[in-house]
Structure 1
Amino acid sequence: MDKDSETRIRQLEETLAHLTRVTDDLHEVIARQDGEIALLTRRVEMLMRFAAEQQADAEGTIPLADQRPPHW
């Protein structure tokens, strides 16, 4: 192989290694964010249930979360 081909192959290998590392890093970030989103979703659902129960106990009416907005 000539010098230009070797240089080009080395550059391609370096680029591939960099892209592989970036892809792995992004995969870790996405996996962590997926877990955080799932946790936050569960917490919001729990808070919505708690707020609806509190409102139903306090007023004895339909929980605000289940009512239609006034513009309907």
Structure 2
Amino acid sequence: MTDDTRSRLTDLEIRLAHHERMAEDMSEVMAQQQDEITRLNLMVRRLVDRLQNVEAGGERSPQDDRPPPHY
């Protein structure tokens, strides 16, 4: 094997190592993003449920049945 071939092979191995590391880092970021998306979707579902409850009249508290203070 010539020195030029060895040098090219070494360069390719270095590039491959960098690409493998980059792929691992991207995979980790994507997993974190999926966790965040799942959490945000859950929050949106809860907010939609609460909003629908409020729009439907919501739960009434005993204070809602009291007359205003000026009576």
Shorter-chain TM-score bucket reads 0.7 to 0.9
* 3-state SS, counterpart of residue 57 of structure 1: coil
Q: Partners in 2 of 1:4 and 1:45 — Cα distance? A: 61
Q: Partners in 2 of 1:57 and 1:24 — Cα distance? A: 50
Residue ranges of structure 1 left out of the alignment (5+ in a row): 59-72
Q: Partners in 1 of 2:30 and 2:8 — Cα distance? A: 33
Which residue of structure 2 aligns with residue 36 of structure 1? 36
Which residue of structure 2 aligns with residue 66 of structure 1? none
Which residue of structure 1 aligns with residue 21 of structure 2? 21
Which letter does structure 1 place at the counterpart of 2:11? Q
TM superposition shift of 1:6 = 0.3
Residues 39-69 of structure 1: CA deviation (Å, up to 9, x unaligned): 00010000000000011116xxxxxxxxxxx
1:45 matches 2:23: no
Which letter does structure 1 place at the counterpart of 2:36? E
Which letter does structure 1 place at the counterpart of 2:29? V
Residue ranges of structure 2 left out of the alignment (5+ in a row): 59-71
How many residue pairs are counted as aligned between the two chains?
A: 58
Question: What's the Cα RMSD here?
Answer: 0.8
Q: Relative contact order (C-alpha < 8 Å, sep 6+): which is higher?
A: 1
Percent pairwise identity: 34
Larger radius of gyration: 2
